[in-house]
Amino acid sequence: MKKTSALLLATVLCISLTACSGVKKEKVVNDKGEKITVTYVTKATPSKFEPFEKALKEKGYTFTSKDKDATIISGAVKSKMYILNDNRSIEIYQFDINSEAYKEAVIANKIHMSYGEKGVDLNTVFNDEYAIIPANDKELTGIFSSLE
């Protein structure tokens, strides 16, 4: 009886912790026809803007930042642009975790920017519901990816 109760309690705890984790994994087929597992955030996470700024300062960067119009990126709700002292610029976008655009972007590792008639898809790196562009700056995307 004790073993059954302990097993039942462990199962309930395991299910509860998974349901409350704020993360959903799903198997999907990407645009290349490959089966992949993607991880979506299902609960809002703490802001990445302030920790990113702190990490830049710790690395010795000086920068200016300004809020940007997030609506140019499908599914984004907030964004900031950073211009570093070495003239590199980088943008971070926060997504609505309930939007289809967020889920599509996570699958493709691309975000869609409204530009001209058709817009443009940009490669990105996600950290929870936040995305950074350009994704080709390995140092800055590394800083961004390491944020908790």
Under 8 Å between Cβ of 93 and 106: no
Match 């562009």 to its residue by tokens. Answer: 133
**134: preceding bond cis by omega (within 30 degrees):** yes
Whole-prediction pTM value?
0.76
Tens of pLDDT, residue by residue over 60-119, are 999 999 998 888 898 999 999 999 999 999 999 999 988 888 888 988 889 988 887 888
What is the rounded distance in angstroms from the CA atom of residue 51 to the CA atom of residue 49? 6
